[in-house]
Amino acid sequence: MVTQARTIDRDRRHGVAAFIAVLFCLLTSVSIQVHAQALIVLHDFTGGADGANPYAGLTMDRGGNLYGTTFAGGFSGGGCTLYPGCGTIFKLSHSQLGWNLTSLFTFNDPNHQGANPQARVVFGPDGALYGTASAQGSLGNGNGVVFRLTPQPTVCSTTRCPWIETVIYSFGDPSLDGSVPGYGDVVFDTASNLYGTTIEGGGGVCDDLYTCGAVYELSRSGGSWSETKLFAIVSSNIPGFWPYPGVTLDNAGDLYGAATSGDGAVFQLTPNGNTWTSNVLYSFFNGSQGSAPTGGLIFDAGGNLYGTTNIGGPNNGGTVFELVRSGNQWTLNTLYAFSSTGAGPVGPTSTLVMDAGGNLYGTTLLEGDFGQGSVFKLTHSNGNWTLTTLHSFTGGADGGRPWGQVVLAPDGTIYGTATTGGSRTVGSCYLHLGCGVAFAITP
């Protein structure tokens, strides 16, 4: 299980030998009907100025506009030697003519802005967009950054109006503050402090001398931000390492996260004066209830936690699980177990989304009718959970391998991204499997 998790990380960060740069163009929508759900391709990424390979899902504003990141593409001379371009931040807006993509920001490593974002951008309390880039930064050590993105302060008179990126923290010494932010969202508490995770650094040493990762806090004072390492993951306190998913806050200010590799575990961090106390809620010690909890955690109204594992479980294809709290004890229930296809880690890698009725929505990486991932819905009725596959990706024009979570619009439309696939499926972008798409699934 550890080897599989390392393979995922190696593919994501170092798995490309060469790319083909392509010109930027906006494509017309493609409609595909699978399982009585209509999937519409909102944008087919080209690997040019629009970016390539969106790992993260989308964020929706009050006007229904969508915001996202691409891991690669954008500026062709960005200094990201393993990838064609350092990635982008984009906006998708809807008009009578369809969906239009605007590139808000293009990462350019020589300018020390960070590179290769793997996480979503989210709106902060001040209305700005916040996110992380997994590589590069002002210190030149490739450890990544946390950034803030705002529009131009005055009305822009040109057709292309890039937003302004401010690096609010650049990760430095891995032994002190961690390095390489994962693909979990950053989150804010009621005092506007920001929390996140790194998958490396932190000072702890885990399996085979790998650094284990850390949980950090960024606090703002005036115009500057200061970083505090809240918790360094080491094998003695968490039976797992590499906290890819980020952390979730409860109403009491406690943090909840998951360590993806090793045995894998769900943990809680509770503030205790100037320190934080860790508590392991569940350890995936033998894989029978799943392994590699890669997606983030969400709460329901009753304070129960929901998450996903990418592999393991009764059918060895990953799981959707619930952690039910009773006092200080937590009990894990497997809500659904996916079946392995023998193609590697096929199960969910993304954070779940819950609707007002308590139904859950998510994505799988390589599961589905065509082995290229799926979008699913889990419906709760009479104590049972029923899975409906809303779309099975083909790896072609509709995309493939969806890493990121979906977003659910008020009208029931599901929006998301597929990391690979699209019209450019041969000889371009990540692993020569296509540049990815942004999609919508209508009710």
> Is the pLDDT confidence value at 136 over 80?
no
Percent of the chain residues past pLDDT 70, beyond the cut: 84
Mean pLDDT on 351-378: 96
Q: Look at residue 34 in the predicted model and tell me its pLDDT.
A: 39
Mean pLDDT on 80-106: 87
Query: Cα–Cα distance between 21 and 48 in angstroms, integer?
Result: 6
Can you give the CATH number for the domain in which 36 is found? 2.130.10.130
Mean pLDDT on 412-440: 87
> Is the pLDDT confidence value at 14 over 50?
no
Query: Cα–Cα distance between 104 and 65 in angstroms, integer?
Result: 13
> Is the pLDDT confidence value at 4 over 80?
no
- Ranking 200-214, 293-307, 313-327 by mean pLDDT, the lowest is 200-214
Query: Cα–Cα distance between 8 and 15 in angstroms, integer?
Result: 9
Q: Which residue has the higher pLDDT, 92 or 159?
A: 92
Q: Look at residue 425 in the predicted model and tell me its pLDDT.
A: 67
Q: What does pLDDT average to over the chain?
A: 85
Mean pLDDT on 118-125: 97
> Is the pLDDT confidence value at 142 over 60?
yes
Mean pLDDT on 193-206: 86
Query: Cα–Cα distance between 117 and 86 in angstroms, integer?
Result: 8
Cβ neighbors of 208 (< 8 A, separation 6 or more) are none
Burial (CB count <10 Å: 0-12, 13-18, 19+), residue 137: buried
DSSP H or E run through 11: helix 2-14
Cβ neighbors of 313 (< 8 A, separation 6 or more) are 287, 288, 289, 290, 291, 319, 334, 337, 338, 347
426 band by pLDDT with thresholds 50, 70 and 90: low
Q: Which residue has the higher pLDDT, 195 or 96?
A: 195
Q: Look at residue 305 in the predicted model and tell me its pLDDT.
A: 98
> Is the pLDDT confidence value at 274 over 90?
no
The torsion of the CA quartet 333, 336, 339, 345, rounded to 10 degrees, works out to: -70
> Is the pLDDT confidence value at 176 over 70?
yes
Q: Look at residue 207 in the predicted model and tell me its pLDDT.
A: 61
Mean pLDDT on 312-323: 95
The number of C-alpha atoms within 13 Å of 270 and in the hemisphere containing its C-beta is: 8
332 band by pLDDT with thresholds 50, 70 and 90: very high
The number of C-alpha atoms within 13 Å of 259 and in the hemisphere containing its C-beta is: 36
Q: Which residue has the higher pLDDT, 153 or 372?
A: 372
pTM: 0.89
431 band by pLDDT with thresholds 50, 70 and 90: low
Say if CB 390 and CB 377 are below 8 A apart: yes
Backbone angles phi, psi at 333, to 5 degrees: -115, 130
Provide the domain count of the chain: 1
Say if CB 246 and CB 197 are below 8 A apart: yes
Say if CB 122 and CB 91 are below 8 A apart: no
Can you list the pairs that 267-271 forms with residues at least 24 positions away whose Cβ atoms lie under 8 Å? 267/238, 269/215, 269/230, 269/231
Percent of the chain residues past pLDDT 90, beyond the cut: 61
> Is the pLDDT confidence value at 21 over 90?
no
Q: Look at residue 245 in the predicted model and tell me its pLDDT.
A: 94
Q: Look at residue 159 in the predicted model and tell me its pLDDT.
A: 56
> Is the pLDDT confidence value at 230 over 70?
yes
Residue span of the structural domain in which 343 resides: 2-442
Paired strand residues for 248: 256
> Is the pLDDT confidence value at 180 over 80?
yes
Mean pLDDT on 279-294: 92
Q: Tell me the per-residue pLDDT of 369-424, one tens digit each, with 9 for 90 and over.
A: 999 999 999 999 888 999 999 999 999 999 999 999 999 999 999 999 999 999 87
> Is the pLDDT confidence value at 28 over 50?
no
CA 357 to chain centre: 24
Q: Look at residue 139 in the predicted model and tell me its pLDDT.
A: 54
Residue with tokens 């350019």: 108
Q: Look at residue 383 in the predicted model and tell me its pLDDT.
A: 86
What is the distance in angstroms between the CA of the first residue and the CA of the last residue of the chain? Answer: 37
Residue with tokens 């998790």: 5
